[in-house]
Chain A
């Protein structure tokens, strides 16, 4: 019975992670294209309409758009890393799946924590109640 309880917990965690992966997929499908376009294509090619200020500087100055950056990049990072870790064995990577998964989760965790630190450094007032 103790064995079945530990398997059930692992299965629940696994299902939760796949749920977050799925949510990240929705986020990157709906929100990521516009961020790639304005930051990496429109602005560098001079298609950006707002003058000299780059899009990211404009986005981090406002509370709601900072939340947009966080949700978009965190969700996309989780989805991208999770899916890429799952794809590597299909491309021929043999062995070391546990280490690969651990490295993937470390990248996700570090990336999200660092992003929060940077966003708070750029706009410390975002956590204050309006």
Chain B
């Protein structure tokens, strides 16, 4: 069998701010940028675990003090906002990608968003009650 000929891949060159030209592109990019905050928080949390695991009380108290810094609280609030934006857009996309047929009706993305948001709230409540407040 002869080798398949390789053709050069065509990559359209986009201007740096291409995603600012259109509202939908901007919303898309904000959705993708939620990953930056998810990544940063995960890495910071692993660092917090490392400080806690070092059994150095002074160092851990210092890190907890850093968490109380207004700049850090602001960053955390922005991180939570982006994380929730990821959650809501993810739930909406679930509804778009996998609609469920119930009898003669089919679920809509808004239904998926509503149901999964309620589930997320319930899971969050459960985590706080079960793990952090000693039981349901």
Task: Point out the residues of chain A lying under 8 angstroms from B50, CB to CB.
Answer: 114, 118
> With A40-B76, A59-B132, A60-B52 given, is the CB distance from A29 to B86 under 8 Å?
yes
Q: How far is the CA of A91 from the CA of B37 in the complex (A)?
A: 16
Report the interface size for chain B: residues with CB under 8 A from the other chain. Answer: 50
* Contact assessment for A80 and B52 in the assembled complex, using a CB-CB cutoff below 8 Å: no
* Contact assessment for B35 and A57 in the assembled complex, using a CB-CB cutoff below 8 Å: no
Task: Point out the residues of chain B lying under 8 angstroms from A38, CB to CB.
Answer: 128, 132
A127 at the interface (CB under 8 A from B): no
* Contact assessment for B128 and A34 in the assembled complex, using a CB-CB cutoff below 8 Å: yes
* Contact assessment for A122 and B38 in the assembled complex, using a CB-CB cutoff below 8 Å: no
Interface residue SS majority, chain B:
helix
Task: Point out the residues of chain B lying under 8 angstroms from A86, CB to CB.
Answer: 32
* Contact assessment for A41 and B77 in the assembled complex, using a CB-CB cutoff below 8 Å: yes
* Contact assessment for A122 and B132 in the assembled complex, using a CB-CB cutoff below 8 Å: no
The smallest C-beta distance from B22 to any residue of chain A, in angstroms, reads 14
* Contact assessment for A34 and B124 in the assembled complex, using a CB-CB cutoff below 8 Å: yes
* Contact assessment for B131 and A118 in the assembled complex, using a CB-CB cutoff below 8 Å: no
> With A28-B83, A29-B120, A33-B124 given, is the CB distance from A50 to B132 under 8 Å?
yes
A residues adjacent to B (C-beta < 8 A): 1, 3, 25-26, 28-41, 43-45, 49-50, 54-60, 62, 64-65, 68-69, 73, 76-77, 79-84, 86-87, 90-92, 107, 111, 114-115, 117-119, 121-122
Extra contacts, 19 of them, besides A38-B132, A43-B67, A60-B49 (Cβ < 8 A), are: A28-B38, A33-B83, A33-B124, A36-B41, A36-B80, A40-B67, A44-B64, A44-B73, A54-B64, A58-B132, A73-B46, A77-B42, A80-B42, A83-B38, A90-B19, A90-B29, A91-B29, A111-B46, A118-B50
B residues adjacent to A (C-beta < 8 A): 1, 3, 14, 16, 19, 29, 32-33, 35-43, 45-46, 48-50, 52-53, 64, 67-68, 72-73, 76-77, 79-80, 83-84, 86-87, 90-91, 116, 119-120, 123-124, 127-128, 130-133
